[in-house]
Amino acid sequence: MTSSFKNHGEHEIRIIDQQVWCICEGQWNLEQTELFFEEFKEKVIPISHKPWVRVNDIRCFELAGVECGALLAELIRWGQEHQCLVSIYVINSKIHEMFAGMVKKLSEQMNAKFIFTEDIREAEQLASDFLNSPE
């Protein structure tokens, strides 16, 4: 999956208990998406023995190229296979609404749970609620 192109965009992945916080910024190309996915898997594997939630803070995310769509689908699929209960997306712009449409379509195709919100505190509460609710 490696390429000779420079990655564009930035990310930070933090694990807090069984919550995976992904902060995505800038305009992403395929190389950045690949870098993110590899780091994501590396950090999540140690907690994937129990259910977990993913919170995606994309308020400073600008855009990803269409070539990134297949990896996004793979990220959703990988999460399902590794006990991800829900993916929560914190959005705040029209561009994010378009991105949300793509996420919604992919998630529905895979029967993956997802939520969109514009409030970071609501995202924190939702993540906690999903982890603490009995199945």
Beta strands 19-28; 10-16: pairing state: antiparallel
Tokens of 122: 């609501």
Per residue in 65-74, pLDDT (tens digit) is: 778 888 888 9
- Looking at residue 68, its amino acid is C
- Indicate if the pLDDT at residue 20 is higher than 90: yes
Most confident of 70-74, 85-89, 97-101: 85-89
Overall average pLDDT of the 89-108 stretch:
82
- Indicate if the pLDDT at residue 78 is higher than 70: yes
Domain ranges of the chain: 10-130
DSSP 61-107: EEEE-GGGHHHHHHHHHHHHHTTEEEEEEE--SHHHHHHHHHHHHHH
Q: 129: closest CA among 107, 112, 109, 113?
A: 113
Alpha-carbon separation of residue 96 from 63, 99, 104 (angstroms): 8, 5, 12
Tokens of 26: 């800038």
- Indicate if the pLDDT at residue 2 is higher than 70: no
Instruction: Give the torsion sign (CA, 85, 8, 46, 23).
Output: negative
Among 3.30.750.24, 3.90.280.10, 3.40.50.720, 2.40.50.140, name the CATH number for the domain at 10-130: 3.30.750.24
